[in-house]
Amino acid sequence: MNHPEPSGQDQAAEHNRRAWDRLVRNKQRFTRPAKDDEFHDPLKVLDGNRWLGNAVLGAQLLCLAAGGGRQAPLYAAAGAKVTVVDISAEQLSLDRQVAAEKDLDICTVQTSMDDLSMFADQAFDIVIHPVSTCYLPKIAPVYREVARITRPHGLYISQHKQPTSLQASTLPSENGYELLTPYYCEAQPLPAVQGSLHREEGTLEYLHRWDQLIGEMCRAGFVIEDLTEPCHANSQAAIGTFAHRSTFVAPYVRIKARRMASPAANRVWLPE
Ligand SMILES: C[S@@+](CC[C@H](N)C(=O)[O-])C[C@H]1O[C@@H](n2cnc3c(N)ncnc32)[C@H](O)[C@@H]1O
């Protein structure tokens, strides 16, 4: 199987910066700005689970690794004071473009999601983090930074690729979708794929286990309040399509977490 070169945190970020700039130039998925009609009721588009409600009004809200002219302008239109972080300058230029068109105030910052050192401790009430932790080998440094910049009792809403989906074959064999990639593949980029909607071509992606996705979030100082698996399944879909594959393997998980007032409050004390 074709494995890209292993790489550290900084090399992965640099590789993916170039890859995402390219995806923007090629107008690929996740680089398309919000549509005009979505601005009529932005929270209907953004908050299907109703996890946020009125909390966004006037909130200091960070859209993390969320460039592309979609989340940041919509949250700004919903009344939040928005900062958007992304590694890709091209993605951020889409946010500035939409903000100018819609007369919205948005602050854009180009950095890797594991280095938020330009922000003060407890700077944000809400952090919104679309799918992107898969683009770094290590997830713990990201959670540490998010915990630092989120105020006590603030909200952290994130979405991630599920590990089983990153392990499973793109197309089914006669036995169905098969697990091709090991679960324990520490800091090893996933094999390159082509023509699959569950991966982004040209990027380096990494599998994070459940103990890393959820356990490390708790250990960083968050408590999980809710968790959903956005459903893309359609058992009638043509074999091998994203919807057919999603009938067997859920592609994403969405997590609602709240910052503990003190990380120590998150430790579990077992009786001796
Ligand atoms: C799937 S897109 C999410 C945002 C997109 N607007 C959407 O609609 O879902 C993933 C984003 O993560 C960004 N990204 C990848 N690696 C990153 C890193 N190390 N730090 C910050 N952003 C990163 C990419 O540039 C891209 O904008």
**Residue corresponding to tokens 């074999």:** 239
CATH number for position 106: 3.40.50.150
Residue 3 lies in a domain: no
Atom 20 in ligand 1: residue holding the nearest Cα = 112
Residue 217 lies in a domain: yes
Strands 252-259 and 124-129: unpaired
The residue range of the domain holding 110 is 9-161+203-231+252-261
N-term to C-term CA, the chain: 48
pLDDT at 270: 52
Lowest mean pLDDT among 9-23, 130-144, 151-165, 188-202: 188-202
pLDDT at 262: 73
Question: Looking at the 3D structure of the chain, how many domains does it have?
Answer: 1
Residue 266 lies in a domain: no
Lowest mean pLDDT among 85-99, 114-128, 144-158, 186-200: 186-200
Tokens representing 94?
């889409």
Residue 130 lies in a domain: yes
Q: With bands split at pLDDT 50, 70 and 90, how would you rate the model's confidence at 4?
A: low
Atom of ligand 1 nearest to the CA of 136: 19
Pocket of ligand 1 (CB under 6 A): 13, 16, 20, 30, 65-68, 70-71, 86-88, 91, 112-113, 130-132, 135-136
Residue 128 lies in a domain: yes
* CA of residue 154 to ligand 1 center, whole Å: 22
* CA of residue 173 to ligand 1 center, whole Å: 32
210 vs 163: CA distance, rounded Å = 7
Residue 4 lies in a domain: no
CA dihedral 170, 255, 12, 248 (to 10 degrees): -10
Residue 267 lies in a domain: no
pLDDT at 269: 52
Atom of ligand 1 nearest to the CA of 65: 22
Residue 156 lies in a domain: yes
Q: Indicate whether this model's pTM tops 0.85.
A: yes
* CA of residue 138 to ligand 1 center, whole Å: 15
